[in-house]
Structure 1
């Protein structure tokens, strides 16, 4: 693997993970807060019982499905495997 392919791979992983962390954090915080208000839960209970499992679930879902929209939006470079034979 050369440096350009390594850079493209790291850029893809970093961008997807960062976007997944941000999205999962926002959605799990919002849903846990709404459940806290709806069910009269305490702050620690709602974040640990509802927020953490939702965060993990959303993170893996977003990490799986975000590369295509991010690539379409131009935030990701091409797949490292699509580089020509001159970069191998």
Structure 2
């Protein structure tokens, strides 16, 4: 058995790019929501961070992970379609 390095690279690229952008975006919007809760509403630190900010971060992270691959693929940031991955370990067809 041989490792198909092209497919492994594509999967690693998708996990890295989508994961990084999702964590960054969810963190950015969560910090804004936490700041608004502290300054505008007047909530304490622990309530605004753990009761509002953390669940908001987790929900946004899941939404971004689910919906970001298609726009990133359109923008050219992801190289392969997921249908092209196939099995992880398989022998390349010999000509």
* Same structural fold, with TM-score higher than 0.5 when normalized by the shorter chain: yes
Instruction: Describe the superposition over 1:57-87 as per-residue Cα deviations: whole angstroms up to 9, x where unpaired.
Output: 000000000001111111111125337xxx5
Cα displacement (A) at 1:31: 1.0
Cα displacement (A) at 1:4: 0.7
Task: Name which one, 1 or 2, has greater alpha-carbon Rg.
Answer: 2
Trace 1:1-88 onto structure 2 (pairs within 5 A): 2-82=4-84
| TM norm structure 2 | 0.80
Flag structure 2 segments of 5+ consecutive residues without an equivalent. 86-91
Cα displacement (A) at 1:39: 1.7
Aligned positions, number: 86
> Which 4+ stretches in 1 moved above 6 angstroms?
none
Flag structure 1 segments of 5+ consecutive residues without an equivalent. none
- Structure 2 Cα separation of the partners of residues 77 and 35 of structure 1: 40
| TM norm structure 1 | 0.86
Structure with greater helix percent: 1
Q: 1:32, 1:51 within 8 Å by CA — same for their partners in 2?
A: yes
* RMSD across aligned positions (CA): 1.9
Instruction: Describe the superposition over 1:38-72 as per-residue Cα deviations: whole angstroms up to 9, x where unpaired.
Output: 22111222111111000000000000000011111
